[in-house]
């Protein structure tokens, strides 16, 4: 049996919610944090009844909160389940995941939301917060029962995978979101402008002869929806923002006082459309594991996203974990299902931004942790992402300097679809704790 009292001893405590970056101890009793003691202060002597976890040379941070993942249950259990997806989350340092409603059937009623809570209670190892659909069946025709779903515990509303094509419907959804206090999560994409594009429209798509989706297919949708949010006043959250001009639109809207928050994915922060073709001399890959929606963009876009995280224009880093079966990816590029299985590589990938080797703008570890914890938590109004005394004991121990090689066959996720297979990453999640319970541990 696990000791009721645990001391995480002598780690670098990094908690942006308290602007804390100090060496010390975190003490947990049952499911709560009961003490945070700095080495410089007077830590009470350890009592014999507690388990001590040595965090020397490790970072102690709040557990990561993922605002955007696909757990595929109900209906698509061959791609992922709540059991496997939450184990992948724990391995990636995520103590909370918000799951998208594009399941079969769509999560668009209060009883669907209750069902997710019941299955999560039985199968999940991290907290699972369902997101309800904006429109019935995600068809973009009729508004779903947002208030009922909100009462049943939906943390946000989204038709993710599809944009809400009708501006009028989205405006109505934002009005309801004002009543429920829950954000509308916007998959910003103008399908007419995408026009069957399967990667970013640019130099690489021309070279590969693949149909491209232009940057403005995202930017035009964001501009419309920011105008609606400004008019109605409901909370708008922009999913997976991916272009330089999108960042400018969000920055301007925030400066005008629009209630908007935004997220980016680790893959858009680190990879570009060049990954689709690959980097081997004389070999063109057409890597279907790089097919993702929105598509991997240009280097200029990527640098703008990094700057957006650095200056707070972007509130959160969210994985958009999208596991697929091998048959969904083992096909021609334009027939492949879009998405990357991203929960287990998120931290290692983001660590490439902390000490870049290629002259990129660097992101301090504290900024990345902020976007994965406090920033994400605030965007959805969740009371999470902090190591404050009295808070739920959701935390991670990070080993930022340890290296590992990605092997998708060792993923906890059923989705082995990652372009990072075989890559060397720096940064290992050593321990994940949810409500005082250790749900993932990698010995040193």
- Active-site amino acid positions: 320
Q: Whose Cβ is closer to Zn ion: residue 131's or residue 229's?
A: 131
Are 50 and 28 within 8 A, CB to CB? no
Stretch that binds Zn ion, among 216-224, 239-247, 338-346, 420-428 (CB under 5 A): 239-247
352 lies in the site for Zn ion, by CB under 5 A: no
The reply on whether position 394 binds Zn ion by CB under 5 A is no
Phi, psi of 74 (to 5 degrees): -85, 160
**Tokens at residue 357, please?**
């080797």
Residue 263 or 399 with smaller CB distance to Zn ion? 263
- Interface with Zn ion, residue 430, by CB under 5 A: no
How far, CA to CA in Å, does 98 sit from each of 94, 128, 437?
Answer: 10, 6, 20
| SS3 state of residue 171 | helix
Q: How far is the CB of 153 from Zn ion (least distance, A)?
A: 22
Q: Which is nearer to Zn ion, 113 or 239 (CB)?
A: 239
Query: Would you give the binding string for Zn ion spanning residues 163-202, x where CB under 5 A is met?
Result: ------------------------x---------------
* CA–CA dist 315, 438 (Å, integer): 28
- Binding range to Zn ion, per CB under 5 A, among 75-83, 155-163, 165-173, 380-388: 155-163
Burial class (CB in 10 A: 0-12, 13-18, 19+), 443: exposed
Q: How far apart are CA 295 and CA 242, in angstroms?
A: 8
Q: What are phi and psi of 213, to 5 degrees?
A: -100, 120
Asked if 160 is part of the footprint of Zn ion (rule: CB under 5 A), the reply reads yes
Contact 149, 134 (CB under 8 A): no
CB of 194 to Zn ion, least distance (A): 12
**Window 132 to 151, contacts with Zn ion (CB under 5 A):** none
- Distance in Å, CB of 182 to Zn ion, minimum: 18
DSSP-assigned states of every residue in 377-389: HHHTT-S-S---T
Q: Which of residues 399-428 bind Zn ion (CB under 5 A)?
A: none
Q: Compute the distance between CA of residue 314 and CA of residue 355 in angstroms, rounded to an integer.
A: 20
Of residues 248-277, those binding Zn ion (CB under 5 A): none
Which CB, 191 or 410, lies closer to Zn ion?
191
Q: Which long-range contacts (CB under 8 A, 24 or more apart) does 273-280 make?
A: 273/199, 273/200, 273/202, 273/204, 273/205, 273/297, 273/298, 274/204, 274/299, 275/419, 276/199, 276/204, 276/208, 276/210, 276/333, 277/204, 277/207, 277/208
Q: Which is nearer to Zn ion, 83 or 260 (CB)?
A: 260
Cis before 294 (ω within 30) = yes
Bridge pairing between strands 20-29 and 5-15: antiparallel
Tell me if 297 contacts Zn ion by CB under 5 A. Answer: no
**Residue of minimal CB distance from Zn ion?**
187
Residue 237 in the binding site for Zn ion (CB under 5 A): no
We find the least distance from the C-beta atom of residue 354 to Zn ion, in angstroms, to be 27
How near is the Cβ of 227 to Zn ion at its closest, in Å? 20
Structural contact between residues 163 and 189, judged by C-beta atoms closer than 8 angstroms: yes
Look up tokens 């224009």; give the residue.
313
**Contact stretch for Zn ion (CB under 5 A) within 215-223, 233-241, 340-348, 396-404:** 233-241
**Of 187 and 378, CB closest to Zn ion:** 187
> Which of 165/285 has CB closer to Zn ion?
165
3-state secondary structure of 442: coil
Contacting range for Zn ion; rule: CB under 5 A; set: 51-59, 82-90, 152-160, 277-285? 152-160
Question: With respect to Zn ion, which residue has the nearer C-beta, 62 or 419?
Answer: 419
Candidate segments 235-243, 348-356, 357-365, 378-386, binder of Zn ion by CB under 5 A: 235-243
Smallest gap, in angstroms, from Cβ of residue 320 to Zn ion? Answer: 6
| Shortest Å distance, C-beta 187 to Zn ion | 4
Find out whether the peptide bond into 67 is cis, omega within 30 degrees of 0: no
Query: How far from 54 is each of 12, 13, 111, CA to CA, in Å?
Result: 11, 13, 44
Work out how close the CB of 20 gets to Zn ion at its nearest, in angstroms, rounded to a whole number.
33
- What is the binding site for Zn ion (CB under 5 A)? 160, 187, 239
């Amino acid at each position: 049996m696990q000791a009721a009292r645990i001391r995480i001893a002598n780690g670098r405590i990094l908690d942006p919610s308290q602007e804390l970056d100090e060496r010390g101890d975190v003490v947990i009793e049952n499911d709560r944090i009961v003490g945070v003691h700095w080495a410089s202060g007077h830590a009470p002597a350890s009592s014999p009844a507690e388990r001590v976890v040595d965090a020397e040379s490790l970072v102690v941070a709040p557990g990561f909160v993922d605002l955007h993942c696909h757990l595929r249950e109900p209906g698509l259990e061959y791609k992922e389940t709540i059991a496997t997806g939450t184990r992948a989350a724990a391995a990636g340092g995520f103590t909370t995941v918000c799951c998208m409603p594009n399941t079969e059937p769509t999560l668009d009623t209060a009883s669907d939301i209750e069902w997710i809570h019941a299955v999560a209670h039985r199968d999940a190892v991290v907290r699972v917060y369902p997101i309800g659909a904006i429109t019935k069946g995600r068809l973009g025709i009729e508004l779903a029962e947002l208030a009922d779903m909100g009462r049943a515990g939906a943390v946000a509303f989204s038709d993710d995978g599809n944009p809400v094509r009708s501006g009028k419907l989205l405006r109505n959804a934002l009005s309801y979101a004002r009543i429920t206090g829950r954000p509308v999560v916007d998959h910003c994409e103008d399908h007419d402008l995408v026009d069957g594009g399967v990667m970013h429209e640019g130099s690489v798509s021309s070279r590969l002869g693949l149909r491209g989706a232009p940057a403005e297919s995202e930017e035009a949708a964001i501009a419309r929806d920011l105008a609606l949010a400004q008019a109605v006043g409901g909370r708008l959250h922009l999913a997976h923002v991916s272009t330089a001009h999108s960042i400018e639109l969000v920055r301007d809207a925030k400066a005008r006082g629009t209630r908007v928050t935004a997220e980016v994915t680790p893959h858009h922060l680190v990879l570009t459309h060049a990954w689709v073709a690959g980097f081997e001399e004389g070999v063109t890959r057409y890597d279907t594991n790089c097919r993702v929606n929105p598509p991997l963009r240009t280097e200029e876009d990527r640098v703008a996203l990094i700057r957006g995280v650095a200056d707070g224009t972007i509130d959160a880093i969210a994985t958009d974990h999208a596991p697929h079966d091998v048959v969904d990816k083992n096909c021609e590029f334009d027939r492949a299902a879009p998405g990357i299985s991203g929960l287990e590589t998120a931290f290692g990938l983001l660590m490439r931004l902390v000490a870049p080797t290629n002259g990129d703008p660097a992101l301090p570890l504290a900024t990345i942790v902020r976007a994965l914890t406090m920033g994400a938590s605030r965007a959805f109004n969740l009371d999470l992402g902090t190591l404050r005394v009295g808070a739920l004991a959701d935390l991670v121990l990070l080993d930022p300097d340890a290296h590992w090689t990605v092997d998708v066959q060792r993923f906890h996720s059923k989705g082995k679809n990652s372009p990072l297979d075989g890559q060397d990453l720096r940064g290992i999640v050593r321990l994940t704790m949810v409500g005082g319970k250790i749900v993932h541990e990698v010995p040193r």
